[in-house]
Structure 1
């Protein structure tokens, strides 16, 4: 754990990490409050809450082809900070729309803000690749996992508290302030030009649709020509299946099999237990990343998580179900941290934005297809046990793919783990 906290000695990383956490915190509070607002104010129109979620997922599938190009061609630091500034402005617009209860304004603003936010992650991840030591990549991925798990455990509850005491308007104001603080923090560190602009200065006026698609195609072919990189990016398909399945399977098995009369309460506990599983697993994965090969972490994580997921579908009591869910989520961070630590080692910094931009649409497409499959197959064709079996089996099969088709000792993996074992002191980014 000392190695994990040592990363904060890098002032540039500390500022970017704080900016990311601040931005996420405000978003969780604001968006949770919005869901409660729709359910309370428009209780006779429950589809509005679903439409709200749709406004967050659709931009991923519509603009993924341009976000990576922007991160590789434009100033990454300005992209990240401008995303926050624009999001803050849109939050204020959302506040006005909510105040006057104009649904025709609310959803377009949510959609636009979600679209703007998609440009943030590729730019931020590309910057981190340039300012961290090679041995810190997996540590940073582990910290991101820990933050995500904490938000999973406490985020909705915190959003609910703010909504109850400050209303949707107060939550949205906090949301806007978080973006403003994040934008300021992102612009504070002095980051080298070759990290911010790895492909040199870029003239926006020369940008055409043809040039954007040309860059996008370069990113696609860059991924598919490397078997290892293709495997890592394709892993997000499995994450989409897991996310899509778990988003409905957990509540289905509670309602229709284990605790039909009190499934609401137990579904809350299921989310808390899953969050704690990911949190503890993130700490363990960060430690393992410095001692274990990434390929081994991915195989073990996928195999054990899939097996426990299958078992979760066949248990007879809700308490055994919680144990299986905890053990399943405990192993998922092994995969996430391994991929997050491995990819920066094998991707050219000039292509990082275009490679990173593929993960979200692949995940969202896989998640949407999984939800569609469940919608049409359950309960007419498949039982709840069969859903857990299918999702778990796909996860296990992906582990066997890494076991038999990904080289056991690649040059890229040796290069990735050596700096962590030896404690490399090289720092790509400039010091403040």
Structure 2
């Protein structure tokens, strides 16, 4: 890990992620509390926040990924940071004059910007990190996300309680500006000029899809993301019923299970950062074993009626989920040529998000039609199928990439 932190690019990217995470959680909590205060806890209005967060993934992910392959990534990330800061500052001004509904735009604009800046950061990682460092870098990113899953609501609530909505949003704008300043010091990644490109935007998007379809490992990876999304989507909305039905606890106690899950996610990210880069070329066995372990942990969590066993299972599920997401993301970056990083990410990201939402939508009706144990068993079975599919992965350069480099 020391050699990783000695990399200036990683330090700048981690600093950028740190400031962005603080800003995002302050914004999320501020928007949530304001909407609940203004609408009298209207669930429809609250659900619109989620729509504003996830809809841009489907609408802009492929476009953002393609443009990340065409544009210089440092400038793209800087433009995104400046746009986020300016939009949040403008919304704070609008709220001051009574137009509180504009807070939904704060979430939507940030989600749109991330569809451009995230694949751009992947391009920088691909260019400036060694192959064996990629898994460690993605693991650190996963660990930071897990830390803020635990600490983010606390930070956001404290800031909102002390500053209120307007000052909170202005602080968010300042944090986005600070993160953009860090991006300024990243090295440039040269890209082809418009005159050097053989096709337009839509041509590049089609080429990205063809790249996935003619690489057997990327198709397998797409299938893994879909199966993992459905499996985890089925159980995420039902966590509360594990606490109330299986353990016979008050619903308020679910917060402790979320805390344990967050600690597990943190541990899984750290574990992936330390070990995932050392397992090549047998990474497919590691992924398959991790998915199998996740499937077993899901079954144990649903079967248990003892709090300690359920807590341990929740912790292990968190570790397995973070480890799998990190390992698969690192494998994806290593599999593909730098010129395709944005487009491939733009193709795979909506699959994971869409199947996760689909699984969540099916969870309620399936629970009514069957039982809690049946739904968790189904989710575990889907993850187990993903484990068998993972055996088809081989963590080495694809034939297409090798041909392009020849």
Residue matched to 1:332: 321
Residue matched to 1:315: 304
Q: 2:88 aligns with which of 87, 91, 97?
A: 91
Residue matched to 1:357: 346
TM-score (norm 1): 0.86
Residue matched to 1:277: 264
Does the Cα contact within 8 Å between 1:152 and 1:271 map onto a contact in 2? Answer: no
Q: Deviations over 1:32-65 (max 9, x none)?
A: 2211222233225232111111100011111223
Residue matched to 1:118: 115
Task: Using the TM superposition, name which of 17-26 and 120-129 deviates more.
Answer: 17-26
Residue matched to 2:284: 295
CA pair 109-15 structure 1, distance change in 2 beyond 3 A: closer
Q: Deviations over 1:208-231 (max 9, x none)?
A: xx9322211110110111111222
RMSD: 2.2
Q: Deviations over 1:359-408 (max 9, x none)?
A: 321111101211221233332x12111221111111111001123x345x
Distance in 2 between residues matched to 1:243 and 1:93, nearest whole Å: 37
Runs of 4+ in structure 1 off by over 3 angstroms are 410-413
Q: 2:35 aligns with which of 38, 41, 49?
A: 38
Distance in 1 between residues matched to 2:8 and 2:365, nearest whole Å: 51
Q: Deviations over 1:261-294 (max 9, x none)?
A: x212x22111110111111122222222243232
1:62 is the counterpart of 2:59: yes
1:12 is the counterpart of 2:9: yes
Distance in 2 between residues matched to 1:62 and 1:290, nearest whole Å: 33
Task: Using the TM superposition, name which of 226-235 and 152-161 deviates more.
Answer: 226-235
Distance in 1 between residues matched to 2:137 and 2:295, nearest whole Å: 25
TM-score (norm 2): 0.91
Structure 1: any 5+ residue segments left out of the alignment? Answer: 414-432
Residue matched to 2:72: 75
Q: 2:211 aligns with which of 217, 222, 225?
A: 222
Deviation at 1:311, TM superposition (A): 1.5
1:24 is the counterpart of 2:32: no
Alignment length (residue pairs): 396
CA pair 291-105 structure 1, distance change in 2 beyond 3 A: closer
Residue matched to 1:146: 143
CA pair 239-78 structure 1, distance change in 2 beyond 3 A: farther
Deviation at 1:242, TM superposition (A): 4.5
Structure 2: any 5+ residue segments left out of the alignment? Answer: 399-406
Distance in 1 between residues matched to 2:383 and 2:136, nearest whole Å: 24
